[in-house]
Amino acid sequence: MFDFLTASGRIRVWQQEANNVIDFLRSMGPEEIIESRATAAAALAFMTLHAQSDGDTAPLMAGLEDAHERSRRLTREEEGDLSLFNAKLIGLQKQAHASGSPVNNFIASGLPIWIASFRAAMKPELVASGRAMWAELDRAPIERAAERIESLADVLHDHPMNDQLMMPSIRRMETPDLFVRR
């Protein structure tokens, strides 16, 4: 009954949630995958902006560094911080969906990709799921996803997120190194 409270139970739940994202991505056509990759970029831009406004970018940066450096492993402290950051993202996702704002819904749609990615960065047994998820996202040509992100930035020209979206690392939205199949 309380299996989700144990480490192994939590990993099973996270695995199932990652599988749900993967199945959803697999069901998508080419245009929908481009849109999904763009939502992941918008979510990353939002997370970066939100972490900066909170004054605590350490958990986000540790998670991104771990995902972008194959040999890097999180310390226990970083893992705990990233776990709390992920919980905050889940709350922000619910808040964004409830707002009814098209931009917030767009961002909220990309957050599950990062939640699953950060979980995989924390738990090596979830890396295969992260790779499967990003392999699905890789079906979208980066140039097309970048065009979609630029069009979103045009709409948000006066919004603080505009600058984040136009950062080359976000606009190009390359697959984190940890999830690149070799």
* pTM summary value: 0.85
Domain ranges of the chain: 3-141
How many Cβ atoms from other residues are within 10 Å of residue 147's Cβ? 14
Both tokens of residue 11?
């990993």
Phi, psi of 89 (to 5 degrees): -60, -40
Q: What is the pLDDT of residues 8-67, one digit of tens each?
A: 888 999 999 999 999 999 999 999 999 999 999 888 888 888 777 776 666 666 666 656
Phi, psi of 163 (to 5 degrees): -60, -40
Q: Which of 105, 108, 78 is nearest to 91 (CA)?
A: 108
The enclosing H or E element of 150 equals helix 142-155
